[in-house]
Amino acid sequence: MCQSAVSFQISPVGHGQDELIQRHIDLKTKPLGALGQLEALALQIARVQGAASPQICHPTLLVFAGDHGIAAEGVSIAPSEVTGQMVANFARGGAAINVFCRQVGFKLEVIDCGILTPVEAVTGIIDQRLGAGTAAIHLAAAMPLASVDKGFAMARALIERHHQAGCNLVAFGEMGIGNTSAAAAVMAASMGLGAAECVGRGTGISHEAYARKLMLIEQALQLHRAALVNPKAILACLGGFEIVQMTGAMLAAAERKMLVLVDGFIATAAALVAVNLAPNVRDYLIFAHQSEEQGHQRMLAHLQAKPLLSLGLRLGEGTGAALALPLVYAAVNFYNQMASFSDAGIEAVV
């Protein structure tokens, strides 16, 4: 049976209350602009939620995992089997993302979007498999176009479950050996760039592996050039099962007017596709950090994004998003709880 196309209805965020929100921020007991990016973040959150007292409720971080056929060509420091091993580690609570989520109060879920072999011995992994790894993108399309729509539908149902549970902020992490190759190819095709401007060293590959990675992505872009006609086609030709479902989840979250905390290079590639599909998505995106992957800064600039952190991270998993959550809380809390000049009986300095 053919998977029907999935579309999303995403409303733009209104700016009618911007002056009122900004005035509320400016009258806090501080010099104008003294809280820097937190002030812009508070404005964005209050604008999205359209509330006098914005709140973060039941924040949830979803880690999407999938394998990539191109990994067999030695474009990463580890073989594809490590994807499943790390997914099991996530489910058992032993990875960096588990530590950070426990620390900051993120609920964590792990989704198998299509790793090579399902992890049978560990419970708690959500099955949203689109296959057992994508095809090698330098030889064939990563997946059929129908798989993109199927992944979008799965992601929408997942987000809807969390929305119904009261969640209003979601973040996305990923795991998949070879996924920086897919993300770089998606970036190049989406932005009309050459592979050399997008391909980085991932988790720290050698010079020889980098040269091979660059060559294979150039080959993939050339192979699929005629087919890269729209964002969904780019995902089908060059993406990964986890990138597809992250993209769909971002679209679904924006459709439900939820805030989306975007992690690093791979998550930003998914955000790029989501924005290309539905430009209004951009209003709901908060960019957590700038990673060490060389294409990330260029993607952030393209999306007019100023990330909250720059810590030299290159781990993935959603770790940057988890570390940024306390800053989101700080923005909401100063907006709601900090005294105004009139509250404190202090002469205003605005």
Q: Sheet holding 259-262: strands in order across?
A: 125-127, 107-114, 60-66, 169-175, 259-262, 285-287
pLDDT (tens, 9 = 90+) of the chain, 350 residues, equals: 345 688 899 999 999 999 999 999 999 999 999 999 999 999 999 999 987 889 999 999 999 999 999 999 999 899 999 999 999 999 999 999 999 999 999 999 999 999 999 998 788 899 999 999 999 999 999 999 999 999 999 999 999 999 999 999 999 999 999 999 999 999 999 999 999 999 988 778 899 999 999 999 999 999 999 999 999 999 999 999 999 999 999 999 999 999 999 999 999 999 999 999 999 999 999 999 999 888 999 999 999 999 999 999 999 999 999 999 999 999 999 999 999 988 888 888 76
CB atoms within 10 A of CB 279: 11
Q: What is 18-44 written as a DSSP string? A: HHHHHHHHHTBSS-TTTTTHHHHHHHH
The pLDDT value recorded for residue 2 is 46
Catalytic residues: 317
What was the pLDDT predicted at 4?
64
Coil, helix or strand at residue 63: strand
Measured between alpha carbons, how far is 35 from 32 in angstroms, rounded to an integer?
A: 8
SS3 content of the chain, % helix, strand, coil (to 5): 50, 10, 40
Sign of CA dihedral 84, 86, 90, 91: positive
pTM value surpassing 0.85: yes
Distance CA 70, CA 176 (A): 11
- Number of residues written out for the chain: 350
Ordered structural domains, the chain, with CATH: 60-333 (3.40.50.10210)
